[in-house]
C-alpha cells in the first residue's frame, strides 16, 4: 500500500511515437497527482497529447519515460481500481445495453446485485434501455450507459477522455451534472480530459493546462470550488473561466488574470 496520500501520482511521463528518424515526441516530462475523492481536469488544444496522457494513465499505452503510481503501486497495464469512459463511448455495438453494462463486471468476475444494478440505472436514468443496441440510443444515452458500466466496477479512479465532446450543450451540461451527482454519492476521484474550458472549470478541482509547444504541462491551477452542481452559477466560475482562457491563449505569460 502507498505511503503517499496521493491516489494517483504521475512523474516524468513522456511519450514518443514512431521509429528512428521518424520519431514524434507527443509528451515530455509530465508530472501531476490527484488525491482521494478529488477531481482533475486536463485541458489543452486538439493534438497536444491529452488523450495519449489519459491512455497511458489508464495503463492502455506504455509510456516512453516516467512512471505512474496508483495507491503506491506502479501501473504497467489496466488496473481494476480504474475505469475509463471514452469519447466515442467505447460501447460494443453488437451487445445490447444490458450486456454492455455488465461486461466489465463479467470480465472481472465481480458480483453485481440486482439492487446495485437498478440503483446505477436509476441514477443515470437508463432504466428502460436494456433491450436496445447502442446505435438505437442517442449520444447522451450512450454516454450514460458507458458511465454506468464504469461505475459498476466501483473504481477508485475514473478516467474520462473528452466524454461529452460529441454532445449538444444541454445534454453535455446534463451529463456533467450526472457525473457530479455520482461523484458526490459514490466517493471516487476522476480525471477528465477536455478541450472545453467551461467543462474543465466546472469539473476540475485542479486544472492541468497542456502546452503544445513544450509537449508538457504549462500551468496547474487550483479550482477548489469546482465539483458541485451549483458551481455553474457561482461568481468564481466566471473568473476561473477568464483565467483559464487567458492562460491557454497566452501560454508563456506567467501572470494569470484574476
Partner 1 sequence: MKNSRWLDYALTIIVLTILWYGASMLLGSQLLPDPLSVLRRLLHAVREEIFWEHTAVSAWRLIAALSLAFITAVPFGLVLGSNERLDRIFAPLIYLSYPIPKIVLLPIILMLFGLGDLGKIILISLIIFFQLLITTRDAVRSLDREVVYALQSLGGNRWHFYRHVVWPVALPGIFTSLRISTGTAVAVLFFVESISTSRGLGLYLIDAWGRADYTTMFVGIIALSAIGIVLYEAFDVMERRLCAWKNL
Which residues make up the interface to partner 1 (CB under 8 A)? 55, 58, 60, 77-78, 80, 82-84, 86-88, 90-96, 103-104, 107-108, 133, 135-136, 149, 153
We find the least distance from the C-beta atom of residue 108 to partner 1, in angstroms, to be 4
We find the least distance from the C-beta atom of residue 155 to partner 1, in angstroms, to be 10
- Residues 238 and 247: their CA atoms lie apart, in Å, by 14
We find the least distance from the C-beta atom of residue 47 to partner 1, in angstroms, to be 17
- Closer to partner 1 by Cβ: residue 138 or 239: 138
We find the least distance from the C-beta atom of residue 178 to partner 1, in angstroms, to be 20
- Residues 247 and 243: their CA atoms lie apart, in Å, by 6
- Closer to partner 1 by Cβ: residue 157 or 248: 157
The DSSP annotation for the chain comes to: --SSS-SEEEEEEEEEESSGGG-EEEEEEEEEEE-TT-EEEEE--TTSSHHHHHHHHTTSS--SEEEEEETTEEPSS--TTEEEE-TTTT--TTS-HHHHHHHHHHHTT----HHHHHHHHHHTT-TT-TT--GGGS-HHHHHHHHHHHHHTT--SEEEEESTTTTS-HHHHHHHHHHHHHHHHHHT-EEEEEES-HHHHHHH-SEEEEEETTTTEEEEEEE-TT-SSGGGGGSHHHHHHHHHHHHHHHSTT------
- Closer to partner 1 by Cβ: residue 95 or 246: 95
We find the least distance from the C-beta atom of residue 228 to partner 1, in angstroms, to be 27
We find the least distance from the C-beta atom of residue 113 to partner 1, in angstroms, to be 19
- Closer to partner 1 by Cβ: residue 156 or 223: 156
- Closer to partner 1 by Cβ: residue 43 or 55: 55
Q: How many C-beta atoms lie closer than 10 Å to residue 204's C-beta?
A: 27
- Closer to partner 1 by Cβ: residue 150 or 207: 150
- Closer to partner 1 by Cβ: residue 111 or 252: 111
We find the least distance from the C-beta atom of residue 96 to partner 1, in angstroms, to be 8
C-alpha cell at 232: 455553474
Amino acid at each position: 500500500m502507498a505511503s503517499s496520500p496521493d491516489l494517483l501520482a504521475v512523474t516524468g511521463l513522456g511519450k514518443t511515437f514512431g521509429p528512428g528518424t521518424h520519431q514524434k515526441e507527443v509528451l515530455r516530462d509530465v508530472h501531476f497527482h490527484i488525491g482521494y475523492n478529488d477531481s482533475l481536469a486536463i485541458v489543452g488544444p486538439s493534438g497536444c497529447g491529452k488523450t495519449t496522457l489519459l491512455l497511458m494513465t489508464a495503463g492502455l499505452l506504455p509510456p516512453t519515460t516516467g512512471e505512474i503510481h496508483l495507491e503506491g503501486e506502479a501501473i504497467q497495464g489496466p488496473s481494476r481500481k480504474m475505469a475509463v469512459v471514452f469519447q466515442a463511448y467505447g460501447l460494443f455495438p453488437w451487445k445490447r445495453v444490458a450486456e454492455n453494462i455488465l461486461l466489465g463486471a463479467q470480465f472481472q468476475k465481480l458480483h453485481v446485485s440486482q439492487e446495485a444494478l437498478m440503483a446505477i440505472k436509476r441514477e443515470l436514468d437508463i432504466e428502460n434501455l436494456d433491450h436496445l443496441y447502442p446505435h438505437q440510443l442517442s449520444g447522451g444515452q450512450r454516454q450514460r450507459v458507458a458511465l454506468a458500466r464504469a461505475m459498476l466496477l466501483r473504481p477508485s479512479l475514473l478516467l474520462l477522455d473528452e466524454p461529452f465532446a460529441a454532445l449538444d450543450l444541454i445534454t453535455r451540461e446534463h451529463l456533467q451534472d450526472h457525473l457530479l451527482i455520482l461523484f458526490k454519492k459514490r466517493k471516487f476521484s476522476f480525471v477528465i480530459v477536455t478541450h472545453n474550458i467551461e467543462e474543465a472549470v466546472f469539473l476540475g478541482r485542479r486544472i492541468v493546462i497542456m502546452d503544445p509547444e513544450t509537449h508538457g504541462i504549462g500551468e496547474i491551477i487550483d479550482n477548489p470550488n469546482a465539483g458541485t452542481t451549483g458551481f455553474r452559477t457561482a461568481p468564481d466560475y466566471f473568473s476561473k473561466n477568464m483565467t483559464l482562457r487567458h492562460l491557454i491563449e497566452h501560454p508563456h505569460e506567467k501572470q494569470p488574470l484574476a
